[in-house]
Structure 1
Amino acid sequence: MSSSSSAPSPADEDHRLVKSLVVGTLLLDVLERDIHTLDSLLLKMPEVYVLSLTRIQNQVLQEMLAVRQQMRKRGVKILEEKREQEGIETVYLCRGYWQRFYMLWTFARNEVKQELSRHLHIDLTHRL
């Protein structure tokens, strides 16, 4: 038996980590825009809504920190993220292998919605 000294090829877990970080970044953008919008509305108690979304922002940042730590351990590094008309493209290096991850905006929107609903403890399968 001989063992290979080359780096292991990218795994599904590596792709999942990259996707998680991209979705987290998009969710932070959505939350920031929504907080800014809430601040500009004439609501009776805007601080309650803003604090709620700020709490979610902090949770997302903590989760993203954990994802980055896992990526570092696995030798995964995001090199570039391009937002295009059809979707978002992420180029990353995974243990010496160049990889590309592409997500259409429709898919990205659904992923962000799922993540936000998870943080709000809302089950989207039971709509009114």
Structure 2
Amino acid sequence: MTSSTSAPSPADEDHRLIKGLVVRTLLLDVLERDIHTLDTLLLKMPEVYILSLTRIQNNVLKEMLALRKQMRTRGVKVLEEKREAEGIETLYMCRGYWQRFYMLWTFARNEVKKELSRHLEMDLAQT
């Protein structure tokens, strides 16, 4: 019986969890910026829009808690997140082995847009 010296590759589920966490982190940043922007505009009823975005923030936070619970169960832990000019790099530990997840900004933007449209119950294909 021979033993392998290479690290086991993470399962698709591990990548899905990391991607979901990164996208939701970015979505929270977008929502926070948009809430701040709405608060500075001279709208007739900004509180309605702000409340709607705050509700989405709360739902995203709940989803992130569920993702982190699944990650703990699978032995996955985010160690570092680096935002660079080309994209975002996430270093994480997967069952004792260092792993790297990289997402280009163009892809990240599309994923955040999809996630936000899901929360707003909008179909982007109809626009």
Q: TM-score range by the shorter chain?
A: over 0.9
Aligned-residue CA RMSD (Å)? 1.4
Instruction: Give the length in aligned residue pairs.
Output: 123
Identity of aligned residues (%): 83
CA contact (8 A) 1:10 1:97 kept: no
What do the CA deviations read for 1:3-59 (whole angstroms, capped 9, x no partner)? Answer: x9xx96410000100000000000000000000000000000000000000000000
Q: List runs of 5+ in structure 1 lacking aligned partners.
A: none
Q: Corresponding residue for 2:75?
A: 75
Q: Secondary structure at the match of 2:85?
A: coil
Under a length normalisation based on structure 1, what TM-score does the superposition of the two structures give? Answer: 0.93
Alignment partners' CA distance in 2, 1:106 and 1:93: 25
Q: Secondary structure at the match of 1:125?
A: helix
Please show how residues 19-38 of structure 1 align to structure 2 within 5 Å: 19-38=19-38
Q: List runs of 5+ in structure 2 lacking aligned partners.
A: none
CA contact (8 A) 1:80 1:90 kept: yes
Structure 1 stretches of 4+ moved >4 Å? none
CA contact (8 A) 1:9 1:97 kept: no
Please show how residues 40-55 of structure 1 align to structure 2 within 5 Å: 40-55=40-55
CA contact (8 A) 1:90 1:102 kept: yes
Q: Corresponding residue for 1:126?
A: 126
Under a length normalisation based on structure 2, what TM-score does the superposition of the two structures give? Answer: 0.93
Alignment partners' CA distance in 2, 1:86 and 1:9: 25
